[in-house]
C-alpha cells in the first residue's frame, strides 16, 4: 500500500493541474459565450467537443455492454474479472458525455427541457433518452462495488444503513438491468449514426449511407473488448495486478470476426451505392477513408487472427490500441472531416476546446484511480447471478 501511495503523486498532480486549468477555461466559456472559447462558427456548429467527447466517448464506453453481455448473458465466467472495470469505465464515460454536453450546449441549464418537450422523431431525442437511461443502469450495475465497501465501514451514519439489503435488491434485478442496458446501448450507439442521417447533402458519400446506424453499432461492439483490454493492461501496470493471459487472448479472439463483418458491410454498401470508385478518386477523402480502415480494421483484423499474436501481451495491447484509434479516426471522419462546412468558413479546434476536453478526461482518470484504490473493482467473487 505504502509504496503505491508514494509511486503515484506525480501522475495525480498532473491530472489535477489539467482539471484545474480546464475549470478556469470553463469559466471563460460560460461568461463570454461559446465564441470566446471555441473556433466554432455558423459554418461549423459542431466541432471537436461533439466528435471527441460524445461520438468517440460513447463508442469507447461500449466495453460496458459488451462485457456485461459476454459475462452475464452468455455466461462466460472466464471474463468476470473484467466486468466491473468495464462497467466502471463505461459509467464514467457516460458521465463525461453528459458533462461535455453541459459544456457544449448553448443553454445547458435548460437540458431538462427534453424531459417535457418531446420530439420523438428526432434522433437526438433518442440519443438523449438513451444517455440518461444508460447512465442510470450503469450506476446501478456498479453500485454493488460501492455497497460492498460501505458495508464494512464503521462510520456513524453509514453503519446504520443496511447496505446488504440494497445489495440484495440490486443483485435480484441485475440480469433484467443488464438486458435493459444492452437494449439501450444498441439504440444509443446506432442512434449516433442516425443523427448523421439528416445530413445527406453535407456528409461525404464515402461515409453517408442509410446503414450508418448499423455501422456505428458494429464498430462499437468491436471496440468494446479492445477498450477493456487497453484500460486493463494500463491499470494492471499501475496497480500491479496481472490479467491472465488466456483471459486476454480469449477476449480479443472475438474482435476479428466483428471487424470482418464491419468491413464487409462497409464495402458492400459502397458497391450497392455504386460509389466504390470514390475509394481512389475522392482525393484526401479517399486517404482519410483508407487511414481509418487500415488502422482500425484491416491491420488489427490480421494481427488478432494470428494465434501467436494473441498470446503476446504487448501485441494484444497494441492491436487493441489500433482498434481504439481506428474508431476515433472513423468518428472524426464521419462527424468532422467528411462533413462539409458552409462556404466561407474554416475550422481548426481552439486550444481551449482541446484543453477542456483533456480536463474532462483527466477528471475521469482521477475518479478511476480513486475507485481502484478504495473500491472492490477487481475482486468480484461475491457477485453471484443465481437469481
Partner 1 sequence: MSKAVLVDTVKCIGCRGCQVACKSWNGLPAEITSNTGSFENPPQLSAITFTRIKFNELQHKGKLHWVFTKVQCMHCQYPGCAEACLVGALLKSEEGPVVYDEKKCIGCRYCMVACPFSVPTFEWDEPLPWIRKCNFCFDRLSAGMEPACVKACPTDALIIGERDDLLAEARERIANSPDKYIDHIYGENEAGGTCWLYLSPVPFDELGFPSLSSTPVTVNTERAIGAVPPVVVTVAALMSAVYWIARRKKKLEQENHNQHNNGTKEKVTE
Which residues make up the interface to partner 1 (CB under 8 A)? 30-36, 40-43, 45-46, 69, 72-75, 101, 104-108, 110-111, 113-114, 117-128, 175, 179, 182-183, 186-187, 190-191, 193-195, 197-202, 210, 213, 339, 342-344
Nearer to partner 1, 118 or 351 (CB): 118
3-state helix, strand, coil in the chain (%, to 5): 75, 0, 25
Nearer to partner 1, 210 or 277 (CB): 210
Q: Provide, rounded to whole angstroms, the least separation between the CB of residue 326 and partner 1.
A: 24
Give the count of beta carbons closer than 10 Å to the beta carbon of residue 28.
13
Q: Provide, rounded to whole angstroms, the least separation between the CB of residue 103 and partner 1.
A: 11
Are 158 and 170 contacting, i.e. CB atoms less than 8 angstroms apart? no
Q: Which of 316, 314, 318, 321 is nearest to 305 (CA)?
A: 316
CA distance 199 to 50: 16
E strands, 145-264, in order: none
Give the distance, in angstroms, between the CA of residue 131 and the centroid of all CA atoms in the same chain. 12
Q: Provide, rounded to whole angstroms, the least separation between the CB of residue 125 and partner 1.
A: 4
Q: Provide, rounded to whole angstroms, the least separation between the CB of residue 196 and partner 1.
A: 9
Cα–Cα distance list, 35 to 253, 311, 352 (Å): 46, 50, 11
Q: Provide, rounded to whole angstroms, the least separation between the CB of residue 120 and partner 1.
A: 8
Nearer to partner 1, 154 or 343 (CB): 343
Nearer to partner 1, 117 or 155 (CB): 117
CA distance 356 to 351: 9
196: left (phi over 0), alpha (psi -120 to 50) or beta: alpha
Q: Which of 271, 327, 270 is nearest to 300 (CA)?
A: 327
CA distance 309 to 375: 33
Nearer to partner 1, 124 or 150 (CB): 124
Nearer to partner 1, 98 or 191 (CB): 191
Q: Provide, rounded to whole angstroms, the least separation between the CB of residue 74 and partner 1.
A: 5
Amino acid at each position: 500500500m505504502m509504496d503505491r501511495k508514494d509511486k503515484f503523486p506525480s501522475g495525480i498532480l498532473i491530472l489535477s493541474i489539467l482539471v484545474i486549468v480546464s475549470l478556469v477555461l470553463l469559466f471563460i466559456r460560460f461568461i463570454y459565450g461559446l465564441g470566446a472559447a471555441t473556433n466554432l462558427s455558423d459554418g461549423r456548429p459542431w466541432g471537436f467537443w461533439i466528435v471527441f467527447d460524445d461520438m468517440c466517448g460513447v463508442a469507447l464506453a461500449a466495453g460496458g455492454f459488451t462485457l456485461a453481455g459476454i459475462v452475464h448473458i452468455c455466461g462466460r465466467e472466464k471474463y468476470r474479472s473484467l466486468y466491473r472495470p468495464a462497467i466502471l469505465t463505461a459509467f464514467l464515460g457516460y458521465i463525461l458525455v453528459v458533462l461535455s454536453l453541459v459544456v457544449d450546449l448553448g443553454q445547458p441549464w435548460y437540458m431538462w427541457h427534453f424531459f417535457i418537450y418531446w420530439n420523438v422523431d428526432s434522433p437526438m431525442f433518442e440519443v438523449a433518452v438513451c444517455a440518461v437511461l444508460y447512465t442510470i443502469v450503469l450506476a446501478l450495475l456498479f453500485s454493488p462495488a460501492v455497497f460492498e465497501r460501505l458495508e464494512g465501514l464503521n462510520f456513524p451514519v453509514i453503519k446504520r444503513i443496511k447496505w446488504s439489503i440494497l445489495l440484495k435488491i440490486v443483485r435480484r434485478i441485475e440480469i433484467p438491468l443488464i438486458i435493459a442496458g444492452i437494449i439501450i446501448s444498441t439504440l444509443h450507439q446506432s442512434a449516433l449514426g442516425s443523427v448523421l442521417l439528416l445530413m445527406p447533402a453535407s456528409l461525404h458519400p464515402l461515409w453517408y449511407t442509410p446503414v450508418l446506424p448499423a455501422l456505428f453499432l458494429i464498430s462499437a461492439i468491436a471496440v468494446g473488448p479492445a477498450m477493456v483490454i487497453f484500460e486493463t493492461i494500463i491499470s494492471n501496470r499501475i496497480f500491479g495486478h496481472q490479467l491472465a493471459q488466456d483471459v486476454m487472448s480469449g477476449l480479443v479472439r472475438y474482435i476479428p470476426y466483428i471487424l470482418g463483418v464491419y468491413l464487409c458491410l462497409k464495402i458492400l454498401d459502397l458497391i450497392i451505392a455504386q460509389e466504390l470508385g470514390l475509394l481512389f478518386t475522392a482525393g484526401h477523402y479517399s486517404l482519410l477513408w483508407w487511414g481509418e480502415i487500415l488502422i482500425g480494421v484491416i491491420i488489427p483484423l490480421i494481427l488478432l487472427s494470428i494465434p501467436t499474436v494473441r498470446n503476446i501481451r504487448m501485441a494484444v495491447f497494441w492491436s487493441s490500441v489500433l482498434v481504439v484509434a481506428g474508431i476515433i479516426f472513423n468518428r472524426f471522419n464521419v462527424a468532422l472531416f467528411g462533413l462539409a462546412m458552409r462556404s466561407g468558413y474554416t475550422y481548426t479546434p481552439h486550444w481551449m476546446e482541446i484543453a477542456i476536453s483533456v480536463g474532462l478526461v483527466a477528471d475521469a482518470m482521477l475518479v478511476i484511480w480513486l475507485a481502484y484504490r478504495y473500491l472492490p473493482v477487481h475482486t468480484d467473487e461475491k457477485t453471484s447471478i443465481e437469481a
